[in-house]
Amino acid sequence: MAKTSSRRPRRAGKDHAHAGLTVPQRLRRIVEAFSNVSVLVVADLVADEFLAGEIARVSREAPVLILRHRERTLVPGGGANAVMNLAALGVTALPVGLVGDDEAGRTLLQIFRKHKIPVSGITKLKGHITTTKTRVLAYSAHSSRQQVVRIDRECDPLSDNHPALRELVASAREYVPAADAVLLSDYGYGSVTPHLFEQIRAKSALGEIPVTLDSRYRMTEYQGVTAATPNEGEVEEALNVRIGHDHEQLLNAGAELLRRMKLESLVITRGGDGMVAFERKKKPLEIPIHGSNQVVDVTGAGDTVIATFTAALAAGADTASAALLANYAGGLVVMKRGTATISQAELLEALAD
């Protein structure tokens, strides 16, 4: 079970404290305040495995490439990547989730410990398979690495009354007094569900701190969430609409989701088209993509966006400032290969430029 830190982080001031500053100055102040906040992350913890091989020849057995194995790496993915992004930004991340008693689970815990991320809120469940996404990358002497196949290993989600999930609720509630925000990273693997979140927030346990949500398949089932950061495809699925290049449909969908989920704010990410931030009683803010739209790798970019957005809200930022910072971070991370993070120093450098 998690143990609440005895050090209560100093809460950053509200964004009105930055009145009179230019936008870059205001954003820098928010990023500099990241070191003073803590974020509880209730998440599906995933391991991202990358197998890289040099193309040797075409197989005689089937029309497939034979790769000569060169490299294997295993890094935090899914909600675990959101945790790593928070830590890289200087935030105190407090993860709650499940891993199996297997190599992938042990590796995730080892990486967290190496980065001084507490692991007492993570339950290691015997017989459980740590969700692992294996990407096979092929390359030749004169070409970059290309993903040729992905293999997922996963367990069926646990029932709502499973003892391990009750333990997660207890761990999360113990962390709440030390948290300035809550991030829910729901990849559909069962460690965070609408039912589990309802138990965490029962009897107003969360108070007034912001709660952000990244849910792939059941976004509209969550109640009591402050903000969400879906991509355009997830919005289409949640509302059963087609947005495409219809700008008016995009704005209508954002307004409908904001109303239906009773959110204070919503950020819809649109890949190379940037993002749109919605807020109650305010005009939508359209933000073009930061940097080049010729991305290198989008793996885990959504985790970077919600981590940065949540950190900014926890530091007292308004929706527009938090969305701008998330856009900067997302634009930077897609220029890196694999599952990557953006550091506080990198974000400050981007703001200076």
Active site residues: 303
Give alpha helix (H) positions in 176-300: 194-200, 232-239, 247-260
Q: Quick one: angle between helices 319-333 and 344-352, nearest 10?
A: 100
User: Is beta strand 181-186 parallel, antiparallel or unpaired with respect to 38-43?
Assistant: parallel
CB 260 within 8 A of CB 274: no
Chain position carrying tokens 């290993």: 153
What does the DSSP 8-state code read for residue 347?
H
In order of 45, 98, 135, 153, the CA distances from 150 in angstroms are 18, 22, 4, 10
Structure tokens at 97: 């989730």
C-alpha to C-alpha distance for 178 and 228, rounded to whole angstroms: 22
Q: Which H helix or E strand runs over 328?
A: helix 319-333
User: Is beta strand 65-78 parallel, antiparallel or unpaired with respect to 45-58?
Assistant: antiparallel
- Give the other-Cβ count within 10 Å of 348's Cβ: 16
Q: Which of 252, 256, 166 is nearest to 220 (CA)?
A: 256
